[in-house]
Structure 1
């Protein structure tokens, strides 16, 4: 098993690195390195965004959340997919029309403030780090099951974290946005093929989704819990809505009460529009219309992907108990037929239906999901440090080559930091507390983005009165509120309130928006606001007319100066 899986994974990594080498920027242009020259087509960009967005939380985490908590896990799929609706309606086209390099660059130019840009850089880096860590955790979990041993004295988990992070760091540093775009598009197609194959295999074995949900809902939902002595036993989940009856697979309440469900959906929807690695991709589209059409494609692909993830999570819960009775290798992974680590659900199904090759295929898909998302996050981080900080403030006279190398250095530093944090975590110690450690940790990144960036981001795009001091105050307010609520949620015992505290966007985002509006009322808007607003929302004809008017005024002024 190990040999076949490792050979397949190594071959895949070689293909990915080969694409990066072939498509690496030929010149030392920051436009090519960060934005692929703004020449990425609609379908290619849509596939690349999907590869960027469908992280370990999507590939492993959504199915794991459904596996461990039934209907409550479907909220993840719903929120992840629906997050692109506000992006389509409010963000994609204006953002591309304005046409900068990153979210901090956009906010800094729109509000004509370096302080806004630097504040946004800090928030963006915090979001990126909180998103990178669960990706690295997902790679460690996958390596642990796929290979089972470490390298150079490291544990299998730590080895998976380090190997995947090192490989994708090399890809990003070499290929920049152009190489990363094509590898992410290819990686998404591999992910989709893995889901389709596993779905066909499950249905072919007799699995039927409605019947499985009905059967699973006939008995209380149980999940493994470890005692202090290291012994595992099944524990019945209590319904958090009524607080009395046991939870079931097909009814809400296994993990979230009514307030928690609503807070989770709002967090995921709001968070998508503030994710730096996703929003940066819209700067690579050639036009605003192309950016909007890209989002339409993403919505369709996301709907298909998450529908399959929900189906497979249910299939795993239904089919794995029977498979555990037939396969001795599953004894270490299960307690009475229920997986100890929910993220193993798809990996185990892959081995059940495809043997060593099936496990290798699904494990490769999981690592691809991790690496593809890490690539986008590292590029977003590089754009913030290399372009928004190094070029703008540290070395304003830097050559294009120096700026690109600054971005590559930022890629390496952020990758090392995220890997170090992930190695220090032990997923098995958190499994009993969270429906899916990967999906839950990514939700925290969504919450931070939706609390600190999205309200300011949307107000800056759609409300002319937004000012630089207000944007700074709003971002800081949203970030501090979200972090404070996180901290309280980890220690507060009440289930309902704790759920809301751990998904704080429902409180932090409105507070950030209100603070931004109030401060804007007492501060001054940027100079040349009409020109900036036209750049955001004007039609092509409007912009053409403005250019002609400027040329006419310039010509008249020149002639008047030349007149005797």
Structure 2
């Protein structure tokens, strides 16, 4: 048990809690609790978005995917980073200019419908839950390796899930968006520092990325497989070249020709529909600030995912050479290959930094998990507290009542997601997926990219989008994506199975088509010109429109007199 690491984590959490308390809003206000008063600066918001986005799937999952499937794992890094390009080009600035509390609130106001707001709330909650569960799984995996012991009769895995969920739920309830923004920004800088330290340690030892890839390419790619009551290594077939074995540096180690395309489409489209990321743009002071925030995020993402790919490759090359003389490592591997790929950066940290190195990387992983959980819980609270409680259950609620409704929603969603995570055993699923954490997060991206992103982007850029069209499109996208997920286990064909597990390439065009067809048959909001001006007009345009309305109102009043 690494007592020093646990103490360091406790001290860090205490410092974060103090920061959240100091920065919490001084008055009970939904604007402060959900959006930090819309006064978050560019650099701070960019770091907070990275803290939100660089989750367990990024910190553990990308390196694990590269570790277990070589070049095919790089598609995760590429897709996660490239997802912010359409956000920069099509979403960030108009979304902030419109200025609501959440995606359901935006769609409800833009399309003039309470019904579409409630449909969007349901879709948002499905996405959030799909994203929360793998974060909790990641915390359990990390605690299991870092500490190896449970508390109160729980297994080490369950202890990690429970402790991380309880800690971050308390921080969100106390700090709201303002406290969470600053803690996420600090947490992102810490997890980036963990990756930079590990990369420097690896490169400083003489590791060469090109030489490692060339060496790994000299033999077939093999991963652990549990069969016949014991573990062994199984050679991976090349999905692009039938009859050949896969190698680390060539495509085909995990995906066939359809799988690589569908994965990229899913990750790129899904980013624009992630509620906890899109909600952060409402905290920017202006549309220009929202756009510049995305530019910063793209820079941070490029650095972060480059390091993740480097460390995944280094893990595959160096861990197998380090088993001799390390009994603790032999217990985690099969013939030098890790049973749980998510252990790769953690093990590398212990090899190069001992218990302190393991603790540093593990703390970074737990920070990544808790930072993302915080953003997801806030997005969930905004949907339940603002879009449901304030709009429908208790429209006359005071600001204090609305804030407490949001806090209650945080607790309920956190408990439910932790319960689902406790029912999973990652090591039993390793043989099915390159990284169970990255794969589960991909399902959340697929749901977001299928049900929410197409309607969301159409509502921003197509004037004729209607509430009925958007509702039909969201339902179509969600049902199609979930149905394809559910049927994936029934299909034996590799190519078809890859499409079913990353269904955005089918579900998103279908959702778009349904939205367009239904919208063309129904009526747009009566005040469409005013709404369009809020979305796409400049500040001068909006001031001129307000002045014109005031002038007309003044003339009308004079005539009545």
Query: Which band: TM-score by shorter chain?
Result: over 0.9
Contiguous gaps of at least 5 residues in structure 2: none
2:161 is equivalent to residue 161 of structure 1:
yes
Distance 2:514 2:324 in 1: 58
> What residue number does 1:71 align with?
71
> What residue number does 2:97 align with?
97
Please state whether the residue corresponding to 1:226 is helix, strand or coil.
Answer: strand
> What residue number does 2:548 align with?
549
Please state whether the residue corresponding to 1:162 is helix, strand or coil.
Answer: helix
CA-atom RMSD, angstroms? 0.6
CA contact (8 A) 1:71 1:250 kept: yes
**Superposition deviation, residue 295 in structure 1:** 0.2
Distance 2:219 2:163 in 1: 42
Please state whether the residue corresponding to 2:78 is helix, strand or coil.
Answer: helix
> What residue number does 1:172 align with?
172
CA contact (8 A) 1:240 1:496 kept: no
**Superposition deviation, residue 320 in structure 1:** 0.3
Aligned residues: 561
Distance 1:9 1:323 in 2: 27
> What residue number does 2:56 align with?
56
> What residue number does 1:354 align with?
353
User: What's the CA shift string for 1:448-472, capped at 9, x where partnerless?
Assistant: 0000000000000000000000000
> What residue number does 2:203 align with?
203
Distance 1:85 1:508 in 2: 21
**Superposition deviation, residue 179 in structure 1:** 0.3
> What residue number does 2:518 align with?
519
Please state whether the residue corresponding to 2:323 is helix, strand or coil.
Answer: helix
Please state whether the residue corresponding to 2:225 is helix, strand or coil.
Answer: strand
User: What's the CA shift string for 1:497-526, capped at 9, x where partnerless?
Assistant: 111100000000000000000001100101
Distance 2:489 2:164 in 1: 29
> What residue number does 1:305 align with?
304
**Superposition deviation, residue 25 in structure 1:** 1.3
**Superposition deviation, residue 3 in structure 1:** 0.8
Please state whether the residue corresponding to 2:25 is helix, strand or coil.
Answer: coil
List 4+ stretches of structure 1 deviating above 2 A. none
User: What's the CA shift string for 1:544-564, capped at 9, x where partnerless?
Assistant: 1101111110111111111xx
2:223 is equivalent to residue 223 of structure 1:
yes
TM alignment of 1:482-493, pairs within 5 A: 482-493=481-492
Over 3 Å counting, the alpha-carbon distance change for 1:228 and 1:403 in structure 2 is: farther
> What residue number does 1:443 align with?
442
TM alignment of 1:150-549, pairs within 5 A: 150-229=150-229, 231-549=230-548
User: What's the CA shift string for 1:26-51, capped at 9, x where partnerless?
Assistant: 10100000000000000000000000
**Superposition deviation, residue 193 in structure 1:** 0.4
User: What's the CA shift string for 1:322-377, capped at 9, x where partnerless?
Assistant: 11113121111001111000000000000000101100000000000000000000
User: What's the CA shift string for 1:135-172, capped at 9, x where partnerless?
Assistant: 00000000000110111111110110000000000000
Please state whether the residue corresponding to 1:234 is helix, strand or coil.
Answer: strand
Distance 2:112 2:96 in 1: 18
Please state whether the residue corresponding to 1:233 is helix, strand or coil.
Answer: strand
Distance 2:3 2:278 in 1: 39
Distance 1:490 1:144 in 2: 29
**Superposition deviation, residue 75 in structure 1:** 0.1
Distance 1:49 1:203 in 2: 29
> What residue number does 2:37 align with?
37
Bigger Cα displacement from structure 2, 548-557 vs 490-499: 490-499
Contiguous gaps of at least 5 residues in structure 1: none
CA contact (8 A) 1:325 1:337 kept: no
Distance 2:378 2:489 in 1: 31
User: What's the CA shift string for 1:44-93, capped at 9, x where partnerless?
Assistant: 00000000000000000000000000000000000000000000000000
Please state whether the residue corresponding to 1:354 is helix, strand or coil.
Answer: helix
Please state whether the residue corresponding to 1:523 is helix, strand or coil.
Answer: coil
Distance 1:81 1:326 in 2: 38
**Superposition deviation, residue 16 in structure 1:** 1.1
Distance 1:545 1:345 in 2: 58
User: What's the CA shift string for 1:83-134, capped at 9, x where partnerless?
Assistant: 0000000000000000000000000000000000000000000000000000
**Superposition deviation, residue 495 in structure 1:** 1.4
Distance 1:520 1:463 in 2: 10
User: What's the CA shift string for 1:166-187, capped at 9, x where partnerless?
Assistant: 0000000000000000000000
Distance 1:296 1:78 in 2: 16
Distance 1:15 1:63 in 2: 29
**Superposition deviation, residue 228 in structure 1:** 4.5
> What residue number does 1:121 align with?
121
**Superposition deviation, residue 490 in structure 1:** 2.4
2:9 is equivalent to residue 9 of structure 1:
yes
Distance 1:395 1:547 in 2: 31
CA contact (8 A) 1:490 1:502 kept: no
Please state whether the residue corresponding to 2:223 is helix, strand or coil.
Answer: strand
Distance 1:546 1:13 in 2: 48
Please state whether the residue corresponding to 2:233 is helix, strand or coil.
Answer: strand
Distance 1:59 1:175 in 2: 25
**Superposition deviation, residue 491 in structure 1:** 2.6
Please state whether the residue corresponding to 2:224 is helix, strand or coil.
Answer: strand
